[in-house]
Amino acid sequence: MKTTSLQLEDLWPCFQGIVPAALSTCAADGTPNITFISQVYYVDEKHVAISFQFFNKTHRNIRENPFGCVIALDPRTLHAYRFRLRFDHSESTGPLFESMSLQLQAVASYSGMSEVFRLLAADVYEVCSVERLEGFTRLPAPPPSERSSRLFVDPGLVSLRLVAERLNKAQLLDEILQVTLQLLEERFGFQYSMILFADEQNAKLLTIASRGYAENGAGSEVGMGEGLIGMVGRARRTLYISAMDHGLRYARAVRDRVESLGKTEAIAREIPLPGLPDAASQIAVPLVTRGRLVGVLAVESKDPLAFLPLENSLLTTIGAHLATAIDQLSRDQDDAPVNQVTHEPSTTASCSTAAHRFVYFQKDDCIFVDGDYLIRNVPARILWRLLRQYRDEGRVEFTNRELRMDAWLGLPELKDNLETRLILLRRRLEQKCPDVRLVHRGRGRFALETDAAIALVEKEG
């Protein structure tokens, strides 16, 4: 846009559709065309959008000659403004199109014209210049200070609304976790983030999803009360630390001094920070719904001032939506009846030359695969049950409901976090043994798929 004292934001009354605007275009042979349009839509400080419905002549002209001109009036004073435009692109899906289309349909429905007034596309134009036309009115132009504070929404609030909408649309718990971390990076610029779920039985928080790290960290643990994440899990309050390296250096200097004085009884072991080894700031948000802690959302940055009260409020709000979504979908994943389970032998393993040896250690309640630690506690028992039934009965499909009915697994009667434990198990298999997979097969159903032969060994200690 050319240098001008007029800003699109200052002309907000022109974009309310109170007075129709005139749009002029020109064909390739120089023939002009002028049509009235109901509304010019503000997109951002450099772009506006015009609805493409049925004025085909305008649409053809713009495709031949991308320049156009709009005359719009301020309905308060009838001051006229000329917008010189250049066509940029069309949108037939997405938030802008949906917003314009719904508004058009709502207005058309009052007169029974919903089938006639149908939005084909939202044509987006770059605003090359804006100028006020003299002689339309003798009334003084309103100063920019009269700009409505309610017209232009803070970008952070827009992003917050998008996160809430996406969480409401998600059908699967795993989808919620991935969408949340993806939007934290795309909409807020938080590159390093993780979600931990609360294991109340063992007083720990376990990493179930992460984004931005070299390793996904699935299954890494933080004890309740340990480090920032553990403290937030115990206190159930959002906390953030800026300039973490300075604080740690100070704490370690004090620790060294205490140790030099021989007062080691007052010192607890140092808690290694999960995630980035060189994190300069960190924020952790408790995921609490109806008074119950379901997990912790943690975000890290190499910028020592990445988290201030604004980020605190945004992430706390996102955490509230996330906690509710996790709680809701955790309870909704148990609809499949047991008798719908299929029993069929696997054919993939016999065609593969790969083989894996799973060892379950009863005393430690953990499983190793090919000599490497895989998983422990309830997720380990779940996997061992699945592997045995696969080997002994040829079963490949299972339900959440039958797992909940198996007392050997030791799931709590209430709030068992079964779905989150299955996601954790799925992540660990992806990391340590990708030939063996847990695949979602519908609400409350999943399958065990393997491309390798499986050998099972059970040991007492």
What is the reported pLDDT for 151?
Answer: 65
What is the reported pLDDT for 123?
Answer: 92
Question: Cα-flanking dihedrals φ and ψ of residue 14, to 5°?
Answer: -70, -20
Cα angle 33-39-40, degrees, rounded to a multiple of 5: 80
| Residues whose CB falls within 8 Å of the CB of residue 381, separated by 6 or more in sequence, listed in order | 365, 408, 409, 410
What is the reported pLDDT for 84?
Answer: 96
What is the reported pLDDT for 414?
Answer: 72
| Residues whose CB falls within 8 Å of the CB of residue 244, separated by 6 or more in sequence, listed in order | 273, 279, 280, 281, 282, 304
What is the reported pLDDT for 184?
Answer: 96
Beta bridge partners of 360: 367, 458
What is the reported pLDDT for 205?
Answer: 92
Residues of the chain with confidence (pLDDT) below 70: 1-5, 54-55, 111-116, 142-152, 243-274, 332-353, 461
- Name the CA dihedral angle for 111, 117, 119, 120, rounded to a multiple of 10 degrees: 160
Beta bridge partners of 453: 355
pTM: 0.68
Residue with tokens 């207005």: 107
What is the reported pLDDT for 105?
Answer: 80
**Residue 74, token pair as written in the block:** 């301020």
Beta strand pairing call for 366-369 and 355-361? antiparallel
Residue with tokens 């058309």: 108
Residue-wise pLDDT tens digits, 236-281: 999 988 866 655 555 555 556 656 666 555 554 444 445 777 888 9
**Residue 386, token pair as written in the block:** 């699945």
